[in-house]
Structure 1
Amino acid sequence: MSYEKAFLLNRMERFFYLGYKTLFNSHSRLVFAFCMHLFEFNNMVIITGTSRGIGKAIAENYLSLNEKVIGIGRNHPISHPQYSSIHCDLSIPESVEQISFPDLSLEAVVFIHNAGILGTVDYFEKLDSTEISRVMQVNLFAGAVILQKLLRQIPKSQSFKSIFISSGAGKTPIASWASYCASKAAVDLFCQTIQEEEQQLGRKNFHCLSVAPGVVDTDMQTFIRNTDEQAFREVARFKEYKNSNQLFSPELVAKKLFKLVHETPLEQVLYSLRDIHL
């Protein structure tokens, strides 16, 4: 059986089984709508950095819909029958090169490169060169290598969406964040280039997105607020974000990202979740 037929059969079985159950449910209309939602989505979701913050929230959101999730990283606190993990230190190129995936040919694939680090916050001339390399490795190179592995493995006719978490810092310079800003700017152009390349290669069911989540209440924000003002003069601005409740929760970001990826016509590469409304 071809993977296309198997994929369709899997969706049909899932739909009719759940649809049958709803006929005898007192809340049949609501549950049947949920069944339609499940019929539409049947994904293998691969996410880097699922131990905390945005990545953990994204993984848990997909798992709540009973989607299969593979987490890539050093720590894996999520326990769920649909969750599996690949141990990898994304800051080490050799560790990323060792990643391999199971057969992905029977499901739509979603790859989300969420893992990212800010690095040392200080003026560029004071930074250690190894720290600059580490930021670029985690924020861009690791995701690029994983994406390349997936592009080589997934058939060109198969549904495949690749999402890199970017940042407004990739569009606006922020003093003392040179490595981070550069890495996120590179993410934007990398995704635009990959989208163009794969269109030329005939991959019609592929989308490569670079998505800025907004300012999110994560450990990174805590780190920024605790930075010495001598090294980062905009500390007060980030403290005000927290004090005035301007930070998005990781859970809200996860829901907005899901709506963008699965419920929005994808007509471009660069997106901001500030523009996605639930």
Structure 2
Amino acid sequence: MTASHLTLITGASRGLGQAMAEQLLQAGHVVLGISRKQNPELAALAGRAEAAGAELTQWEQDLSDPVAAAARLSDWLKTLDGQRFDSVTLINNAGTVGNPAPLSSAVAAELSLALRIGLEAPMLLTSAFLGATREWRGARKVLNISSGLGRNAMGSQAPYCGAKAGMDHFSRAVALEEAQAPNGARIVSLAPGVIDTDMQVQLRGASAEKFPDRTRFEKMKNEGMLDSPATAAAKVLKYLAREDFGANPVADVRDPA
């Protein structure tokens, strides 16, 4: 019997999320993409990959309302036959850098939005995922897409740094919990390297006055130091497939096997 794998990805409509969804569909995974908008390219690819077992469901879901998103996810997972899948994985990929600026000049609504999307949503979705799949037979994994900025601070990026640092640390806590549970999930908060996405464009276009480190991001682009989304996705998915996935709940895609 062909193995059946279910993968849930937030922020699946563009950038790294889209690239991961594309590669998983090509590999015959059942994919749930959670984004503000659907992606017709993914739908077309899923149609071509049906022979390999691929299935795609796309939700239009605003993660700035994480309570509603988590409830929807929990309800949806409970409608599925957990015995069908050899593995089920949640990839918390969505995030936002907002408008880079010192915290003293942050707009309160924008600051709250960044934290809801970057930290509250991943935590609530992880909770819903773990609860709804507790009795499933297959391997259970949570992959949180973190960042080097969660481990090395940068001025004018307090919301993003804080969200990613929080993601790292809640992953450590959940890893301890799941290690004690039957068929406990393995969880990793993974820095994926530096990727040429819309987020990088936003950082390079930020105000130099409010974001002095802008030149650093311009240099990385000019010197060809950025991975394409497809290249980065391949590295992330290779890490996800490692036998030792979860041994270190806070990791970097460049860590040796």
**TM-score, normalised on structure 1?**
0.81
Quote how far apart the aligned CAs of 1:263 are: 3.1
Residue type of the partner of 1:134? Answer: L
Matched, 1:43 2:43: no
Larger mean CA deviation between 60-69 and 80-89 belongs to: 80-89
Q: Write the distance in 2 (CA, Å) between the matches of 1:94 and 1:233.
A: 35
Q: Write the distance in 2 (CA, Å) between the matches of 1:242 and 1:104.
A: 45
Contact 1:260 1:276 in 2 (8 A): no
Q: Counterpart of 1:160?
A: 140
Q: Counterpart of 2:254?
A: 274
Q: Write the distance in 2 (CA, Å) between the matches of 1:230 and 1:131.
A: 19
Q: Equivalent residue of 2:113, what SS?
A: helix
Backbone CA RMSD of aligned residues: 1.6
Q: Counterpart of 1:177?
A: 157
Q: Write the distance in 2 (CA, Å) between the matches of 1:202 and 1:95.
A: 28
Q: Counterpart of 1:70?
A: 32
Q: Counterpart of 2:17?
A: 55
Quote how far apart the aligned CAs of 1:155 are: 2.9
Quote how far apart the aligned CAs of 1:264 are: 3.8
Contact 2:70 2:128 in 1 (8 A): no
Quote how far apart the aligned CAs of 1:140 are: 1.4
Quote how far apart the aligned CAs of 1:274 are: 2.5
Return 5+ residue gaps in structure 2 as ranges: 48-54
Residue type of the partner of 1:93? Answer: P
Quote how far apart the aligned CAs of 1:54 are: 0.3
Q: How does 1:1-278 map to 2 (within 5 A)?
A: 13-14=1-2, 42-77=4-39, 78-79=42-43, 80-81=46-47, 82-99=55-72, 100-101=75-76, 102-105=79-82, 106-107=84-85, 108-156=87-135, 158-204=138-184, 206-266=185-245, 267-275=247-255
Larger mean CA deviation between 102-111 and 116-125 belongs to: 102-111
Larger mean CA deviation between 265-274 and 225-234 belongs to: 265-274
Q: Write the distance in 2 (CA, Å) between the matches of 1:65 and 1:187.
A: 28
Return 5+ residue gaps in structure 1 as ranges: 1-12, 15-38
Q: Write the distance in 2 (CA, Å) between the matches of 1:271 and 1:264.
A: 14
Q: Equivalent residue of 2:234, what SS?
A: helix
Larger radius of gyration: 1
The percent of aligned pairs where both chains have the same amino acid is: 30
Q: Write the distance in 2 (CA, Å) between the matches of 1:189 and 1:226.
A: 30
Contact 2:16 2:229 in 1 (8 A): yes
Quote how far apart the aligned CAs of 1:153 are: 1.2
Number of matched pairs? 238
Q: Counterpart of 2:51?
A: none
Tell me which of the two structures has the higher relative contact order, counting C-alpha pairs closer than 8 angstroms and 6 or more residues apart.
Answer: 2
**TM-score, normalised on structure 2?**
0.88
Contact 2:66 2:125 in 1 (8 A): no
